[in-house]
């Protein structure tokens, strides 16, 4: 009886382990499949032309705008710029940062009121944003795809993958 | 002024160039011009850097120092006065406020320094004395490794670091029993010492944020909640302490790891804290033949362990949060008596932002004395069974009147009185109570 009980426990444990391994594999496969896709958005992520990166993973964009990634691949400083409000700001946060304007503001207030970091500089419009990104070494920001088409020479568009 | 500086530099460069031409042959001319051109380019680059630095400063009225602050004023009223605001007698109390101001500066790309001063009143606790809330310097070697030294907010649970900053959450009180206890914030809220922290990119598995702190913490035996906690300790149903006259932290350790999983919006976390402290107290009963009532003896909290598991899922404007905590302490009383207590609590909360004006939160928290969850021992000792648990349904609303001004209203429906500090649990406390909390905050 005791042996049967132990046997059942082992069987249950083995099934549980198999389910866990399958679940981890499923998450990895889904993530790997997602990695090849570019993020579809009406907003383009832009960087200063001196920045070497031409592509970024979405989670790196998210980490950068949350102040967790502060350096480019060559270890130079990342300077983050954001818009103050508006549809482009909302769409950017939704598509690239998994956030909303209220949550994003709250997150940065948390950083400020615990002394961890200063909030990124905000701009009222896309013109100010792209002008500043074009003049600032290591800068990253965003504008609408339409706006970037009209001002293609000011900053470099980075392809963001899922 | 900048243009004058530029012209002066140009004059100097051209004067140098002319002198050089006069003193050298035509053969060396190209080499000299190239050399001077390189110097000119270098100076121009320096001037550009200076110009951008000055332009950045013009946007900040305080130069390199950032200043932020907040002022909160609240009102509390409970139906049966179970709440630990002293002597409110059904009238409610305005003794519920927070004022904070902080200064910070990014000294270089990697080095940062800052401090926040906080004044707080919570009924009989803290009484608006100005204290250093946090003050530390922070050196970031890389995104995966940073070092802090000074007084830092303790990273225990998802909300511990922001509990002083009212406008950052929808609720007035965090699930407010032992996990985010309002009564001895001074002890549990910050550690003075050193810290290592960072964010680790773990590829397809997401991102890990860690924070580990070592040091000690404050014990306020003047008007802090810890004084009341110590004075209310019960050993075998008897309270042997009449007054806590001094307290000292021996060591404090806090750690937290948060995992941003590959599933969008899902955050999982774990935290562990360990604290050792001692207090000098006056006894209210004779402990031995040589220690009559009124003796000054030491009380050692040999180990206080806290474990927390956290989960948070964000879908658009909806945030679902749940945390579980288990805490245990052992106390040695003058080497003669000892006591211990183990509590467990959990809560779940849904927080939804309806629009730019209104956010709503609803939740339930449950706390029990792990050694006497049904209150049988408490009842056998002549107390109330419901003094060993608290179950709380709460509903909160936050109005963002402007970007810098919020107003909140909150109701708690309480069952059991374990949320009170030991010496506030009186035999005439009702099992159930309703608490109304109002609070308004301005921040900048």
Model confidence at B28, pLDDT cuts 50, 70, 90, reads: low
State which of A26-30, B89-93, B381-385 shows the largest mean pLDDT. Answer: B381-385
Amino acid B20: pLDDT: 45
Tens of pLDDT, residues B33-59: 676 666 666 656 655 555 554 455 444
pLDDT band at residue A13 using 50, 70 and 90 as cut-offs: low
Task: Give the distance between the most distant pair of CA atoms in chain B.
Answer: 109
How confident is the model at residue B39, as a pLDDT?
64
A4 sits in the region (left: phi over 0; alpha: psi -120 to 50; else beta) called alpha
Nearest-angstrom CA–CA distance, B44 and A105 = 38
Q: What would the two tokens of residue A58 be?
A: 């979405």
Whether B71 shows a pLDDT value over 50: the answer reads yes
| Residue among A28, A59, A68 whose CB faces B143 most closely | A68
Query: Who wins on pLDDT, B169 or B62?
Result: B169
Q: Which has more confidence, B254 or B87?
A: B254
For B150, left (φ over 0), alpha (ψ -120 to 50), or beta?
A: left
Quote the CA–CA distance of A106 and B76 in Å, as a whole number: 26
* Cα–chain center distance at B443: 17
Q: Is B443 on the interface with A (CB under 8 A)?
A: yes
Q: Which of A87, A93, A113, A139 would best serve as a mutation to test chain B binding (most B beta carbons within 10 A)? A: A113
Which chain A residue is nearest to residue B70, measuring alpha carbons?
Answer: A113
Cα-based distances in Å from B322 to B182, B308, B314: 19, 11, 12
CA distance A143 to A92: 9
- pLDDT, tens only, B382-407: 788 888 888 999 999 999 999 999 99
Cα–Cα distance for residue pair B86/B80, rounded to 1 Å: 13
pLDDT for position B193: 97
The answer to whether the Cβ–Cβ distance between B102 and A115 falls below 8 Å is yes
Are B136 and A115 within 8 A, CB to CB? yes
The predicted pLDDT at position B360 comes to 98
Q: Which residues, including other chains, have CB under 8 Å from residue B183's CB and lie 6 or more apart? A: B84, B122, B125, B225, B228, B229, B421
pLDDT of residue B273: 95
pLDDT at residue B333, as a whole number: 79
Give me the pLDDT at residue B242, please. 85
Q: Which residues of B164-201 are buried (b: 16+ CB within 10 A; e: fewer)?
A: bbbbbbbbbbbbbbbbbbbbbbbbbbbbbbebebbbbb
Q: How far is B199 from chain A (nearest CA, A)?
A: 6
**pLDDT tens-digit series, residues B282-328:** 988 888 888 888 888 888 888 889 999 999 999 989 999 999 999 99
Query: What pLDDT score does B202 carry?
Result: 92
Does A114 contact B at CB distance below 8 Å?
yes
Length of chain A: 162
pLDDT reported for residue B426: 59
Query: What pLDDT score was predicted for residue B421?
Result: 59
pLDDT given at position A35: 52
Summarize pLDDT for B203-259 with one digit per residue, the tens: 889 999 999 999 998 887 776 777 777 877 777 667 788 888 888 899 999 999 999
Q: Are A95 and A160 in contact (CB under 8 A)?
A: no
Residue (of B76, B114, B68) closest to B95 by Cα position:
B76
Do residues B174 and B228 make contact, with C-beta atoms less than 8 angstroms apart?
A: no
Closest A-chain CA to B200: A68
Q: Quote the CA–CA distance of B317 and B398 in Å, as a whole number.
A: 14
> How much is the pLDDT for B36?
64
Q: Residue B186: pLDDT above 90?
A: no
Find the range with the poorest average confidence among B26-35, B141-150, B229-238. B26-35
* pLDDT exceeds cutoff 90 at B266: yes
- Name, in order, each residue with C-beta under 8 angstroms of B103's C-beta and a sequence gap of 6 or more: B65, B66, B67, B114, B115, B116
Contact list, B160 vs chain A (CB under 8 Å): none
- Coil, strand, or helix at residue B272? strand
User: Which of B158-172, B199-213, B378-392 shows the lowest mean pLDDT across its residues?
Assistant: B378-392
Which residues of chain B does A79 touch, with a Cβ-Cβ cutoff of 8 Å?
A: none
* Cβ neighbours of residue A22 closer than 8 Å, sequence gap 6 or more: none
In tens, the pLDDT along A144-155 reads 999 999 998 889
Least confident piece of the model among A109-118, B108-117, B126-135, B237-246: B237-246
Q: What is the ipTM of this complex?
A: 0.77
Mean pLDDT of chain B: 83
Which residues of chain B are within 8 Å of residue A136 when distances are taken between CB atoms? Answer: 52
* Cβ-contact B140, B106 below 8 angstroms: no
In this predicted structure, what is the pLDDT of residue A34? 53
State the pLDDT at residue B99. 96
Query: Nearest CA to B102 among A78, A105, A115?
Result: A115
- With bands split at pLDDT 50, 70 and 90, how would you rate the model's confidence at B21? very low
Q: Which residue has the higher pLDDT, B141 or B187?
A: B141
Supply the pTM of this predicted model.
0.79
- Contacts of the segment B395-398: beta carbons below 8 A, 24+ positions apart: B395/B360, B395/B361, B395/B362, B396/B170, B396/B171, B396/B172, B396/B360, B396/B361, B396/B362, B397/B170, B397/B358, B397/B359, B397/B360, B397/B361, B398/B169, B398/B170, B398/B358, B398/B359, B398/B360, B398/B361
Q: Do A69 and B207 touch (CB under 8 A)?
A: no
| Structure confidence by residue, pLDDT tens digits, B73-85 | 999 888 876 665 5
B109, B161, B204 member nearest A32 (Cβ): B204
**Model confidence at B424, in pLDDT bands (50, 70, 90)?**
low
Distances A135 to A49, B226, B362 between C-alpha atoms, Å: 9, 54, 47
pLDDT tens-digit series, residues A33-65: 555 588 889 999 999 999 999 999 999 999 999
SS3 content of chain A, % helix, strand, coil (to 5): 50, 20, 30
| Chain A environment of B356 (Cβ under 8 Å) | 102
CB < 8 Å & 24+ apart, contacts of B7-15: B9/B43, B9/B47, B10/B40, B13/B39, B13/B40, B13/B43
């Amino acid at each position: 009886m005791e042996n049967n009980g132990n046997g059942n426990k082992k069987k249950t444990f083995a099934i549980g382990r198999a389910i866990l391994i399958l679940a981890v594999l499923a998450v990895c496969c889904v993530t790997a499949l997602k990695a090849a896709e570019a993020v579809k958005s009406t907003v383009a992520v832009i960087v200063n032309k001196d920045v070497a990166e031409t592509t970024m993973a979405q989670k790196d964009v998210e980490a950068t705008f949350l102040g967790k990634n502060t350096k480019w691949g060559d270890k130079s400083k990342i300077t983050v710029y954001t818009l103050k409000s508006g549809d482009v700001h909302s769409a950017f946060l939704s598509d690239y940062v998994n956030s909303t304007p209220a949550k994003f503001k709250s997150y940065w207030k948390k950083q400020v009121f615990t002394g961890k970091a200063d909030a990124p500089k905000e701009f009222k419009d896309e013109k100010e944003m792209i002008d500043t990104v074009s003049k600032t070494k290591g800068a990253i920001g965003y504008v609408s795809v339409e706006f970037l088409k009209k001002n293609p020479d000011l900053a470099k568009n980075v392809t963001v993958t899922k | 002024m900048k243009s004058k500086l530029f012209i002066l530099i140009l004059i100097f460069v051209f004067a140098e160039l002319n002198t050089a031409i006069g003193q050298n042959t035509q053969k060396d001319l190209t080499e000299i011009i190239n050399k001077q051109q390189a110097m000119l380019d270098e100076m121009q680059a320096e001037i550009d850097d200076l110009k951008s630095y000055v332009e950045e400063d013009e946007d900040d009225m305080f130069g390199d120092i950032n200043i932020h602050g907040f002022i909160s004023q609240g009102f509390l009223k409970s139906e049966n006065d179970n709440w630990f605001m002293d002597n409110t007698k059904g009238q409610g109390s305005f003794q519920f406020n927070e004022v904070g101001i902080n200064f910070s500066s990014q000294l270089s790309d990697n080095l940062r320094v800052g401090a926040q001063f906080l004044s707080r009143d919570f009924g009989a606790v803290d009484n608006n004395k100005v204290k250093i809330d946090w003050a530390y310097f922070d050196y970031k070697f890389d995104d995966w490794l940073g070092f802090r030294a000074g007084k830092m907010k303790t990273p225990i649970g998802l909300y511990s670091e922001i509990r002083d900053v009212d406008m950052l959450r929808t609720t007035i009180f965090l699930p407010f029993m032992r996990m985010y206890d309002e009564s001895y914030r001074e002890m549990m809220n910050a550690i003075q010492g050193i810290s290592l922290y960072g964010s680790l990119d773990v590829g397809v598995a997401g991102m890990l944020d860690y924070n580990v702190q070592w040091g000690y913490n404050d014990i306020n035996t003047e008007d802090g909640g810890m004084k009341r906690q110590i004075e209310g300790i019960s050993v075998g149903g008897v309270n042997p302490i009449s007054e806590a006259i001094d307290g000292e932290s021996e060591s404090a350790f806090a750690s937290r790891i948060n995992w941003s999983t590959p599933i969008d919006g899902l955050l999982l976390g774990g935290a562990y804290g360990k604290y050792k402290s001692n207090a000098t107290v006056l006894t209210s009963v004779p402990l031995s033949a040589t220690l009559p009532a009124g003796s000054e003896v030491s009380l050692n909290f040999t180990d206080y362990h806290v474990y927390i598991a956290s989960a948070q899922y964000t879908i658009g404007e909806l945030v679902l949060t749940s945390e579980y905590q288990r805490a245990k302490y052992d106390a040695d009383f003058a080497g003669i008596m000892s006591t211990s207590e183990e509590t467990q609590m959990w809560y779940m909360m849904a927080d939804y932002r309806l629009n730019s004006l209104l956010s709503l939160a609803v939740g339930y928290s449950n706390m029990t004395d792990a050694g006497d969850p049904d209150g049988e021992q408490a009842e056998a000792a002549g107390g109330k069974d419901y003094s060993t648990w608290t179950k709380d349904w709460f509903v909160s609303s936050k109005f963002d009147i402007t970007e810098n001004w919020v107003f909140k209203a909150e109701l708690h429906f309480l069952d059991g009185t374990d949320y009170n500090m030991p010496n506030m649990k009186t035999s005439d406390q009702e099992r159930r109570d309703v608490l109304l909390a109002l609070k308004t905050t301005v921040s900048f």
